[in-house]
Chain A
Amino acid sequence: MREMKLEQDLDATDRRLMVATQAGLPRVSRPYDVLAEQLGITADEVLRRLQRMLDCGVIRRIGAIPNHYAIGYTANGMSVWDVDDSRIDELGEQVGALEFVTHCYHRPRRLPQWPYNLFAMVHGHGRPEVDAKVDQIGLILGDACYHRDVLFSTQILKKTGLRISG
Chain B
Amino acid sequence: MRETVASDTVLDEIDRNLINALHGDFPLVPEPYRLVAEALGLSEAEVLRRLDSLLERRVLTRFGPMFQIERAGGAFVLAAMRVPEAGFERVAAQVNAFPEVAHNYRREHAMNMWFVLATATPQGIARTIAAIEAETGLPVFAFPKEREYFVEMKLRA
Binding site for B on A (CB under 8 A): 1, 4, 6-7, 10, 15, 18, 21-25, 27-33, 43, 47, 50-51, 53-54, 56-73, 78, 88-89, 92-93, 95-97, 99-108, 110, 113-114, 119, 123, 149, 151-165
Extra A-B contacts (14), CB below 8 Å, given A6-B72, A110-B141: A7-B72, A60-B66, A61-B23, A89-B147, A95-B149, A96-B149, A156-B3, A157-B92, A157-B95, A157-B96, A158-B1, A158-B104, A158-B115, A159-B3
A108 to B71 alpha-carbon distance, docked (Å)? 21
User: Dominant SS at the A interface?
Assistant: mixed
* Docked pose: A64 CA to B64 CA in angstroms: 6
**Once bound together, how far apart are the Cα atoms of A99 and B155, in whole Å?**
8
| Closest-CB distance, A27 to chain B (whole angstroms) | 5
Closest 7 CB pairs of A and B: A7-B73, A96-B149, A61-B24, A162-B118, A157-B104, A64-B22, A151-B107
Is B39's beta carbon under 8 Å from chain A?
Answer: no
Cα A59 to Cα B72 with chains together (Å): 9
Of the candidates B11, B23, B118, which one forms a contact with A64 in the assembled complex, judged by CB atoms under 8 Å apart? B23
Are B143 and A110 closer than 8 Å at their CB atoms? yes
- Residues of B close to A1: CB separation below 8 A: 147-148
Q: B105 contacts which of A64, A123, A156 (Cβ < 8 Å)?
A: A156
With the chains together, A160 CA to B61 CA distance in Å? 9
Q: B12 contacts the other chain (Cβ, under 8 Å)?
A: no
16 cross-chain CB contacts under 8 A: A7-B72, A21-B65, A27-B63, A61-B24, A64-B60, A65-B66, A66-B61, A67-B60, A97-B150, A104-B149, A106-B146, A108-B146, A156-B3, A156-B106, A157-B96, A163-B99
